[in-house]
Amino acid sequence: MAMTDRERILAYLRSLSPKAATNSEIQEATGIESHHEVYELTQELMLAGEIHGVKGEGGWLFWTGEPEALPEPIRTPRRPRRMSSYPPPVAPASTVG
């Protein structure tokens, strides 16, 4: 009996343990055609507690068991806010005395 895509993802991540893999790496290793399907399945597996995941700047990383070093999310730098010219600045009232 053939493995389901979900089972193939689990088997692949278990074979990597304690290392982690991205959705793209999982897709390539398992032969699952749709990247979106890999994404949906890894999210389901993570919510079910069967795998661990963390989202970083380059996408998601997934693993099973305890990793050698816990992958930490990469913080996406915030773009600096541009000062808006609306409403226009108000010049202080001059006093004539």
For residue 42, the domain's CATH number is 1.10.10.10
> Does 25 fall in a domain?
yes
Domain tally, the chain: 1
Give the model's pLDDT for residue 57.
Answer: 82
Structural domain harbouring 43: 8-63
Report how far residue 49's alpha carbon sits from residue 14's, in angstroms, rounded to the nearest whole number.
Answer: 14
> Does 23 fall in a domain?
yes
Are 56 and 74 in contact, with CB atoms under 8 Å apart?
yes
Render pLDDT for 36-83 as a digit per residue (tens, 0 to 9): 999 999 999 999 999 999 998 888 999 998 765 565 544 444 555 555
Report how far residue 75's alpha carbon sits from residue 63's, in angstroms, rounded to the nearest whole number.
Answer: 20
> Does 31 fall in a domain?
yes
Sign for the pseudo-dihedral over CA of 40, 46, 50, 51: positive
> Does 96 fall in a domain?
no
pTM: 0.68
> Does 71 fall in a domain?
no
Mean pLDDT for all residues in the chain: 81
Alpha carbon of 84 to those of 59, 66, 87, 88, 89: distances in Å?
32, 48, 8, 8, 10
